[in-house]
Chain A
Amino acid sequence: MKDDVKDRNAPQSPARRRLLAGGAAAGGLLGAGALGLSGGLKAARAATAPAAADSLPPAVPDWTRYLGAGVDAHPYGMPSEHEAKVVRRSVEWLTATRESSVNFTPLYALDGFVTPNGLCFERHHGGLAEVDPAEHRLMIHGLVDRPLLFTVEDLKRFPQENRFYFLECAANSGMEWHGAQLNGVQYTHGMVHCVQYTGVSLRTLLKEVGLKDKAAWVLAEGADAAAMTRSIPLEKALDDCLVAYSMNGERLRPEQGYPIRLVVPGWEGNTWVKWLRRLELGDQPWYQREETSKYTDLLPNGKARMFTWVMDAKSVITSPAPELPMQQEGPVVIKGLAWSGHGAIKRVDVTVDGGINWQTAQLHGPVLPKCLTRFTFDWVWDGKPALLQSRCIDETGYVQPTMAALQEKRGVNSIYHNNSIQTWQINENGSVENVRLG
Chain B
Amino acid sequence: MSVWDKARWATLLTATALSLAMLGGLSVHPARAAEQRYGLGTPATPEEIAGWNIDVRPDGLGLPEGSGSVADGEQIFLERCAACHGEFGEGAGRFPVLMGGQGTLDKAAPVKTIGSYWPYASTVWDYVHRAMPFGDAESLSADETYAVVAYLLNINDIVGDDFVLTKENLPKIVMPNAKGFFTMDAPEFQPYEPCMKDCKKEVKVIGHARVIDVTPDKPAGAGVE
Contact = CB atoms under 8 A, between A and B. Distances in A.
Interface size class for chain A? 35 or more
B49 A147 contact: yes
Interface in A396-438: 396-399, 401, 405, 409, 413, 415-416, 425, 433-438
Contacts of B7: 203, 206-207, 211, 238
Interface of B: 2-4, 7-8, 10-11, 36-38, 40-44, 48-49, 52-59, 61, 84, 93-96, 105-106, 110, 112, 114, 117-120, 122-123, 126-127, 130-131, 134-135, 137-138, 180-184, 187-189, 191-192, 194-200, 203-210, 212-225
A343 interface: no
Interface stretch (A75-83, A94-102, A367-375): A94-102
Contact of A238 (B3, B95, B197, B203): B3
Q: By DSSP majority rule, is chain B's interface helix, strand, loop, or mixed?
A: loop
User: Which 3 A-B residue pairs are closest in the complex by CB-CB distance?
Assistant: A397-B191, A302-B106, A354-B203
Contacts of B117: 292-293, 304
B208 A349 contact: no
A14 interface: no
A100 B43 contact: no
Contacts, number: 290
Contacts of B41: 140, 148-150, 154, 208-209
A149 B44 contact: yes
A157 B37 CA distance: 12
B188 A409 contact: yes
A126 B53 CA distance: 19
18 contacts: A93-B223, A140-B41, A174-B225, A180-B207, A209-B41, A211-B8, A227-B131, A239-B3, A282-B61, A286-B55, A293-B114, A293-B117, A298-B112, A305-B181, A358-B199, A399-B194, A435-B208, A438-B205
B40 A154 contact: yes
B188 to A, nearest CB: 6
A300 B37 CA distance: 50
A125 B189 CA distance: 32
Nearest to B15: A210
A302 B95 contact: no
A356 interface: yes
Interface stretch (A31-39, A105-113, A258-266, A333-341): A31-39
A235 B105 contact: no
